[in-house]
Structure 1
Amino acid sequence: MSDLWLPGAERLSIGNTAPTDGGPAKAIAHITWDRNATKAKPQDLVPYANLRSYFSGGGKGLAPHILWDPFTGRMVQFFPANSRSLCLRDVSGGTRTNRAGSVVLQIEALFFPYCRVGGKTYESLVDTPLKGWDDLHAWVASWGVASSWPMGKPTSFTGKRDERIWRMRSGWYAHAHVPENDHTDPGTWPDFTVNTKKPAFETFPGASWFTMGRKSPVVARMHDRLVAVGCNRYQSSANKDVIGSGDKASYEAWQRKLGFTGSAATWPPGKTSWDELKVPKV
């Protein structure tokens, strides 16, 4: 069973839950767009804490499921996945926009065009670091939301609405796609294949990288791993971030341990043995 609350997100239930109506599972992409900036006059991004307080306080009546900060990866969830949230305009007698699916997961990205963060200006959401997107997308998909855009992936602030598609198709919808609404956000949205997570281990830097005297924190991590796998041929741990004779002897012991022989077991390291050593990412 999928998690009602996004793992890793802050859980800040604001109550006022209500069931959805059933039908194709949907996710709705929004941006907060709480300031109007331009390329000529960018403005500082509104602090995450301000929006968190707004949606859990005076703005409860407009709260999404998730507020996502793509610059830091912080997320807070206000409604469980099986409840409707309240971001969308819902006209009496029409499609119940906030409930029109088995789930209707609404994501508000903390962003507006030409926002400024750390002195840098960001024109579109996809220009940001998109931290946390991997986990957020995986959680949405776990609720049966298709990784597709039935009305087309948003690439500009242009509305496109087709209630027939809305009623029939699972997937992601821009706020600009939702019937009864007139907003044109989010403008852009990350690809479903975007991976913002750093690899757990250092990638092989190439044999020519392993020159005597090179200083790098990667060398220190390699040193520690060679010791951990029982191939310690070091005379000392001093200056362990600098490649020296102890690294050469220890790494050759590691290659022999893996079954390499002859010239294949000699310095410098090769990609196969490096990948097997699993040197933690710096």
Structure 2
Amino acid sequence: MADIWMPEAIKVDLGDHAPCDTGFPPKAIAHITADRDDATAAHPKDLVPFANLQALFTGGKREMAPHILWSPFTGTFAQFFPATSRSKSLLDKQGGTRTNRAGKVVLQVEALFFPFCRVNGEVFATLADTPCKGWPELNGWVRSWGVPDVFPMGHPHGFTSNRSEQIWETKGGWYAHAHVPENDHVDPGSWPEFVAAEPFPGAAFFHTGQKSPVIAAMHRRLVAEGCNRYTADDVLDVWEPDDVKSYAAWQQKLGFSGSDADGTPGASSWEQLQVPHLV
């Protein structure tokens, strides 16, 4: 089963959990915090600190808190609700579709960003221009909850709205805030492209002493999936006995047993691990 708390996130549980409407397909919602509206290309403004937004969602704006607050500049995350609960970042009109709940999951992500924010002297016009640190981990965690890598109403490009109740209720995937019925926001304006998965290199690739950045990427995904059987002295990018133990834990998590959970990667378990593709 997928982790209800994203392993990389600071856990800030607000309580007040409530179930989703599981008759709808799984969704993720892309927002930006847009915490300043006076920045321009000619007059950029400094990015608001992550800690300020985390404090806001645990204080005066807790009734608008998402699941995940994400800094695309540092790869820092804070999580306020478990994946299995609704969060509160969408307007939900009485008598309409229950926007915060309409899905097996409705994972809401607030990226810490506003257009023409300034970070370490550099100005960023769109979210996609940022380093997008942590996006592979975020994309992988959302994917682990069955949310497909697709924007059913189109990948966001620009601050325009495009809403369809019928698509929203019948299609799983990612939605911009600008796509959600009953809402009038037009964010996020842009969003990073989905992370391609590293193809299965074959079982023979995984032998003692094999050194590769693919091993390091796999290591990070196993840790993120709660299958960490590593010790402090393990080498990140070298296949070692603790890689076998950790991968066996992943196979067991998927329901494999016996020789199918011996710690040697197979095509099926590798595909489900979704190791980010290395460019």
Q: Name which of 68, 73, 76 aligns with 1:74.
A: 76
Deviations 1:126-169 (A, max 9, x none): 11010000000000001010110100000010000000000000
Deviation at 1:194, TM superposition (A): 6.5
Partner of 2:40: 38
Partner of 1:92: 94
Paired AA for residue 21 in structure 1: D
**Contact 2:47 / 2:113 at 8 angstroms: preserved in 1?**
yes
Deviation at 1:193, TM superposition (A): 2.5
CA distance in 1 between counterparts of 2:20 and 2:43 reads 41
Aligned residue pairs, count: 200
Deviation at 1:58, TM superposition (A): 1.1
Partner of 2:175: 173
Partner of 1:47: 49
CA distance in 2 between counterparts of 1:146 and 1:72 reads 25
Partner of 1:29: 30
Deviations 1:215-263 (A, max 9, x none): xxxxxxxxxx9xxxxxxxxxxxxxxxxxxxxxxxxxxxxxxxxxxxxxx
Deviation at 1:110, TM superposition (A): 0.1
- The TM-score normalised by the length of structure 2 is 0.70
Deviation at 1:57, TM superposition (A): 1.1
**Contact 2:139 / 2:195 at 8 angstroms: preserved in 1?**
no
Paired AA for residue 116 in structure 1: R
Partner of 2:238: none
Q: Which runs of 5+ in 1 are unaligned?
A: 202-224, 226-282
Deviations 1:172-214 (A, max 9, x none): 000000000000000000000379xxx849xxxxxxxxxxxxx
Q: Name which of 106, 114, 118 aligns with 1:104.
A: 106
Partner of 1:150: 152
Deviation at 1:17, TM superposition (A): 0.7
Paired AA for residue 102 in structure 1: K
Partner of 1:183: 185
Distance 1:11 1:104, change over 3 A: same
CA distance in 2 between counterparts of 1:193 and 1:4 reads 21
CA distance in 1 between counterparts of 2:196 and 2:51 reads 26
CA distance in 2 between counterparts of 1:179 and 1:88 reads 9
SS at match of 2:52: helix
CA distance in 2 between counterparts of 1:178 and 1:8 reads 27
SS at match of 1:107: strand
Matched-pair identity in %? 60
Partner of 2:161: 159
1:2 aligned onto 2:13: no
Q: Name which of 57, 60, 71 aligns with 1:58.
A: 60
Q: Which runs of 5+ in 2 are unaligned?
A: 198-211, 215-234, 236-279
Paired AA for residue 20 in structure 1: C
Distance 1:51 1:194, change over 3 A: farther
SS at match of 1:172: strand
Partner of 2:115: 113
**Contact 1:134 / 1:194 at 8 angstroms: preserved in 2?**
no
Deviation at 1:20, TM superposition (A): 0.4
- The TM-score normalised by the length of structure 1 is 0.69
CA distance in 2 between counterparts of 1:117 and 1:84 reads 32
Paired AA for residue 14 in structure 1: L
Partner of 1:19: 19
Deviations 1:54-106 (A, max 9, x none): 00111100000000000000000000000000000000000000000000000
SS at match of 2:128: helix
CA distance in 2 between counterparts of 1:193 and 1:89 reads 29
